[in-house]
Amino acid sequence: IYEKIEHSENWKQAESLVLAVLEELAAKLTSKRSLRGKNDTIERMLTYIQAHYHENDLSLDRLAVQFHLSPTYISKQFKEYTERNFIDYLIEIRIDASKALLANKDKKVNDIAEAIGYMNTRSFLRTFKKFTGMTPTEFREQAISKQHGQDTERT
């Protein structure tokens, strides 16, 4: 691919080469996913995580005890099935939940952090910023201004 790009006559030709490679990779990924099939154990774990994400002691070790499997095995199966590791999945669930709670301007950020499973507010703030690119307060202000803008459009 590098040689083909290097020998391209112009950037348009190089762009179409890269696009073709990306489309081929996407097709292979889709094919691999469809061949993978269902994993009932991981599906049950995903349901369990959804129900217990707000508990600060939710961990790979806790899943291992709950589902009578080793943490290493769960980690490998989880990654294979979801294409991300357990902790990233848990963080994503918690951040999504926090976004919904941040829409309520009366809830304190500390209370929100605790409600989604963070004992340490600083840890929540760092994680939220890393995953969203903004602080919870900035996110809240943006969400409220968007909501206010939609309310004004309706009237």
- Scanning the structure block, which residue is given the tokens 């605790």? 114
DSSP state of 1: -
pTM above 0.85, yes or no: no
Coil, helix or strand at residue 122 = helix
Reading phi first (left if > 0) and then psi (alpha if -120 to 50, else beta), residue 135 is in beta
Name which of 54, 68, 60 is nearest 97 in CA terms. 54
Task: Please state the three-class secondary structure of 40-101 as a single string.
Answer: HHHHHHHHHHHHHCCCCCCCHHHHHHHHCCCHHHHHHHHHHHHCCCHHHHHHHHHHHHHHHH
Report d(CA 129, CA 135) in Å as an integer: 5
User: pLDDT per position in the chain (155 positions), as tens?
Assistant: 788 888 888 989 889 999 999 999 988 877 776 656 678 899 999 999 999 999 999 999 999 999 999 999 999 999 988 889 999 999 999 999 999 999 888 899 999 999 999 999 999 999 999 999 999 999 999 988 877 776 555 55
Report d(CA 14, CA 36) in Å as an integer: 33
